[in-house]
Amino acid sequence: MTTKTASISHAQPTKSDVKRLVKAMTAIAWGILGIGFLLCLVNLSHFSDQNVGLMVGIGFLIGSVHIYVIGTAIGLVHARLHQDQTTNDHHDPQA
């Protein structure tokens, strides 16, 4: 009995897929930043660590920055990978 194997060597996300992901993560980060800002404003009257709404708002503010940084890093890494691949393709001697 034989088994057939298949490998996918060029299954990489296209540039438009990565751009769409980066834009979506940026939009999500801005939305979460707005929610965090509103939660902080609404719950600012009782400024203490016992104020759960304020703490959640601060968490949303911090989380939005993390989401934005991760999205930007994904875009930069993919751009760098794409740049390295095109550079290697153009400078690859076929002797």
Render pLDDT for 44-66 as a digit per residue (tens, 0 to 9).
Answer: 998 899 999 999 999 999 999 99
78, 84, 90, 92: CA torsion to nearest 10: -130
Run of H or E including 40:
helix 15-42
Residue that the structure tokens 């009782």 belong to:
46
Instruction: Tell me which residue of 73, 93, 70, 91 sits closest to 81, measured CA to CA.
Output: 73
Reported pTM: 0.72
**Residue 70, pLDDT above cutoff 80:** yes
